[in-house]
Every structure is written in C-alpha cells, then in structure tokens.
Amino acid sequence: MYASVRLIGPRECMGFSDFQFVPRPGRDARRFPARREMYCYLKDFCAAFRLAGAVRLNTKVVHVAMASSPEARAGDVKWKVRSVRVELDGGEEVDVEEVFDAVVVFNGHYSQPRLPSIKDPPGNQIHGERHVTATGGVEASIQPRRHLHPPVDRLCSDGTVAFADDVVVAADTVIYCTGYTYSIPFLDTAGLVTVDVDHVGPLYEHTFPPSLAPSLSFVGVPMGVFAPWFFEAQARWIALVLTGKAALPPETEMMTAVEEGRRAMEIAGAPAKHTHFIPAGVKPREVWEFVYRHSDLPRMEDWKVELFTTSNLKNAMEDREAYRDRDDDSESVREGGRRWRRVAGAQYEAALAAAGRGGDHAHAHHDDAGVAAVRNMQPLLPAPCQFSTLNGATPQKI
Ligand SMILES: Cc1cc2nc3c(=O)[nH]c(=O)nc-3n(C[C@H](O)[C@H](O)[C@H](O)COP(=O)(O)OP(=O)(O)OC[C@H]3O[C@@H](n4cnc5c(N)ncnc54)[C@H](O)[C@@H]3O)c2cc1C
C-alpha cells in the first residue's frame, strides 16, 4: 500500500463477510480511511482467525510449474512450487521446493507500471503509482499547481508536451497515470495460460483456466471491484470447487464461455484492457451477480448497495476531490450504518477476544492521506517498480 493511499471504496462495502471493516476506537474512523487503517484491519483479521501460522511471510515464490506432464488431465495435475526466504536486507536464502495438488495465484496487479513506449521522453518521469490521481492518462506539471488537459497527443524530444486540443506546454515532469500491467513471472504452464499487459487467459469467469481447472486458479485478476469483498467471493468459489462442494462445467463449455466473452467485447469495440474489467462503475449489478452466481456469500444489504451506488459512483462522478468527505447519507444508509457499527463492531471485538487479543489500541494513530510515516510496516518484497523495463513489453507465454 502506497504512503499516499486513501481508500476510494466505502469501508462498509469492502470488508470480509465475517469480519467487517468497522471503525475502531482511537483509529481512523472515516468511511474512506488512509492506508494505516486498512493495514490495522488486515492485522486484526489475521489475529482474529489465527492466520499467522498458515502464512509464510517474507517468502518469495520464484517458480511454479506442473510436476506431472502437461498431458495429464487437470484433475491429475500436481504443481511444483519453488520459493526463497527474503531477508529484510533484501538477501535471499536457500530454495525450498514443494509439491501441491492445487495452486491459487493471487500476486496482485497493481505493482508493475504500464508505460507508453516513448523514444526520447522529455524531462523527469514518474509513474502515478506513488502519486495517486483520479484521472487516467498522462499528467504534465508545468507549475507547482495541477493542470488537467485533454489526452496527450505526443511527448516531444524538445521537452514539450502536445495535447489533443493543440495546446503545447514545456514539462518539468511527466507523471504517467497509465495504470498497471499483469505480470506473473514465476508461473510456467507450458503455454496453456498467457499473461500480457491487458489480460490473463483463457480464464473462465476470470478465475479458472479451463484446461488446468480446478488445480490452477486465480484470485484478484478482475478490475473495478472492491477488495477484499469481491476476492473473498472468488476464494470461496475456488474452495467450494476444490472440496467437491461445487462443480465446474466441462472444459469445452468453459472455453466456449471464454470465447463468447471475447467476441462480445470485440462486437462492443471494447479495448483489450477491459478484458477483466467487471464494471462496478458502469453496471454495478454485474458485480453482485458475479458474486452470487459463484459463491455462498450472503447478499449485500440494500443500504450497502445504496451506499455503493451513491457515495462511490454518483458522488465520485460529481466531485472527485471532495466526495470522500461528504456527510449527506440518506436516512436508510444512516440507519443501516448505525446497526452495522453496533452488530458488526461487537462481532469484531468478540472474534479478537476469542483469539486472545482485545481491541488493539497500539495501532491508534490517525494517518492523514500520505503524510505520516507508518511504523512497523515492512513490505513483503522490495517495491517492484521497474520503470524502464516495461517499455515495449511483449505478451509473455508462461
Ligand atoms: C492506489 C490504489 C488505490 C486503491 N484503492 C482501493 C480502494 O479504495 N478500494 C478497493 O477495494 N480497492 C482499491 N485498490 C485496489 C486494491 O488495492 C487491490 O484490488 C487489492 O489490493 C488486490 O489484492 P490482491 O491480494 O489481489 O493483491 P495485492 O494486494 O497486490 O497482494 C499481492 C501480494 O502478493 C505478493 N507477491 C507478489 N509476487 C509474489 C511472489 N512471487 N511470491 C510471494 N508473494 C508475492 C505481493 O508482495 C503482495 O503482498 C486500490 C489500488 C491502488 C493501486
């Protein structure tokens, strides 16, 4: 999580189903809190469900490949996983290789910047990952204050930036707000799954590669959804399938569904980068439908759906700068929120108490967006910003 992050989704809609993201005494109680609050919530979640023993921190997966021959059918495939322990000084220790019946990949896709290929770019360049902005494209800063323009037409080697409205400015710094690329460098599927900047596939419902399902699956590939709520739904679906409580369609049917999705995108003229975009911002119902079709998550209550569509969609469209600090909920959202804080708050405390850890006020520390240093936060891996290597990236067969 970047130092400057302040959440863009309302906390009421984001948390895990059985451990809601309720405000805690002495912490950042805002509906859209900053990163420390998210960090404290995840730590509490781990404590409440005693996950520490099930997770190997500071461990980097360096290679995942089929242990059996690629011809083996999906149900028989086993996976070799090689990992190394990463020391805090960046050093790496001996490899460990283990064999598993199934692998679920969830390595995130917001760390490898997607950069345009520019031969002789002007001035300083920064990717927007550390300078979060609500607008996409390329932002040219010519003065300390911010100037927003229509799309950039070209960056010129004399240090100027030409915008689509024919305005040309001299840029001290260019900040690329051009998003991120998918990257799963450690996964070797003998070419059965392809990863490129815009997509991972073929994936049935963004989760299972038909020819390797269910032994290989992916959580977190979709975009435009709330984390961790949506990813909990994916994880639950995978767990149901792996434990035999739910069945996938036959491989050919899954492939047909993938193909139909691809054709529908083509007909709609949608760009490739929307392959995994589940359009919460366009058709929010599709997000719910996905979750209820595949997982056993309870339906989101009406007041949360209303909150999601107003605070997150309508208000954000109206005023991207200030929507997170509005205080004009409808009466139904207010009432739902009051009940939620009472009931889910009690569940939160009870879960922590049962795990032997009361409300953790040691975290208490209000973190205004991006200004305060966060104590005790060590990234699992070194920050993966590889600025220059991405120019001209080609699709990667894995
Ligand atoms: C600026 C910004 C703001 C956002 N704000 C919101 C918001 O308000 N609300 C919201 O719902 N979503 C938000 N998101 C999106 C949200 O952060 C992501 O959807 C979510 O973090 C994805 O979770 P994940 O577990 O799939 O991936 P990540 O959170 O990226 O976690 C992946 C983990 O895998 C680890 N990893 C990677 N490679 C390896 C390897 N080889 N071996 C071992 N470990 C590895 C990484 O270190 C990382 O810890 C935001 C994203 C960004 C970039």
Which range scores top for mean pLDDT: 2-6, 200-204, 299-303, 308-312?
200-204
Can you tell me which atom of ligand 1 is nearest the CA of 379? 47
**More reliable by pLDDT, 2 or 273:** 273
Tell me the average pLDDT across 12-21.
94
Question: What's the CA gap between 107 and 381, in Å, rounded?
Answer: 11
* pLDDT beyond 90 at 394: no
User: Does 380 contact ligand 1 (Cβ within 6 A)?
Assistant: yes
* pLDDT beyond 50 at 143: no
Question: What's the CA gap between 15 and 388, in Å, rounded?
Answer: 36
The C-alpha angle 236, 274, 17, rounded to 5 degrees, equals 25
* pLDDT beyond 50 at 373: no
User: Does 113 contact ligand 1 (Cβ within 6 A)?
Assistant: no
Q: What is the pLDDT of residue 59?
A: 94
**Nearest Cα to 176, choosing from 227, 121, 214, 226?**
121
* Domains of the chain from N-terminus onward: 11-110+181-389 (3.50.50.60), 124-176 (no CATH)
* pLDDT beyond 50 at 119: yes
**More reliable by pLDDT, 36 or 75:** 36
Band of residue 145 on the pLDDT scale cut at 50, 70, 90? very low
**More reliable by pLDDT, 310 or 212:** 212
The chain-wide mean pLDDT, for the chain, equals: 80
Question: What's the CA gap between 367 and 358, in Å, rounded?
Answer: 22
Question: What pTM was estimated for this model as a whole?
Answer: 0.82
Can you tell me which atom of ligand 1 is nearest the CA of 7? 8
User: Does 9 contact ligand 1 (Cβ within 6 A)?
Assistant: yes
- CA-nearest residue for atom 53, ligand 1, is 110
211-250, pLDDT tens digit by residue?
A: 999 999 999 999 888 888 899 999 999 999 999 999 999 9
* pLDDT beyond 80 at 328: yes
Tell me the average pLDDT across 175-204.
93
Task: Say what angle helices 331-354 and 35-48 make with each other, to 10 degrees.
Answer: 50
18-72, pLDDT tens digit by residue?
A: 999 999 999 999 999 999 999 999 999 999 999 999 999 999 999 999 997 766 6
* pLDDT beyond 50 at 142: no
Band of residue 252 on the pLDDT scale cut at 50, 70, 90? very high
What is the distance in A from the centroid of ligand 1 to the CA of 398? 21
Question: What's the CA gap between 376 and 230, in Å, rounded?
Answer: 28
User: Does 106 contact ligand 1 (Cβ within 6 A)?
Assistant: yes
* pLDDT beyond 60 at 182: yes
Q: What is the pLDDT of residue 122?
A: 59
Q: What is the pLDDT of residue 74?
A: 59
Q: Which residues pair with 201 in a beta bridge?
A: 194
What is the distance in A from the centroid of ligand 1 to the CA of 42? 12
Can you tell me which atom of ligand 1 is nearest the CA of 380? 47
Q: What is the pLDDT of residue 365?
A: 39
Q: What is the SS3 assignment for the chain?
A: CCCCCECCCCHHHCCECCECCCCCCCCCCCCCCEHHHHHHHHHHHHHHCCCHHHCCCCEEEEEEEECCCCCCCHHHCCEEEEEEEECCCCCEEEEEEEEECCEEECCCCCCCECCCCCCCCCCEEEEHHHCCCCCCEEEEECCCCCCCCCCEEEECCCCEEEECCCCEEECCEEEEECCECCCCCCEECCCCCEECCCCEECCECCCECCCCCCCEEECCCCECCCCCHHHHHHHHHHHHHHCCCCCCCCHHHHHHHHHHHHHHHHHHCCCHHHCCECCCCCCHHHHHHHHHHHCCCCCCCHHHHHHHHHHHHHHHHHCCCCHHHCCCCCHHHHHHHHHHHHHHHHHHHHHHHHCCCCCCHHHCCCCCCCCCCCCCCCCCCCCCCCCCCCCCCCCEEC
Tell me the average pLDDT across 287-311.
88
255-276, pLDDT tens digit by residue?
A: 999 999 899 888 888 888 888 9
Residue whose CB lies within 8 A of the most ligand 1 atoms, among 1, 84, 110, for a mutation test: 110
* pLDDT beyond 50 at 362: no
Tell me the average pLDDT across 105-116.
86
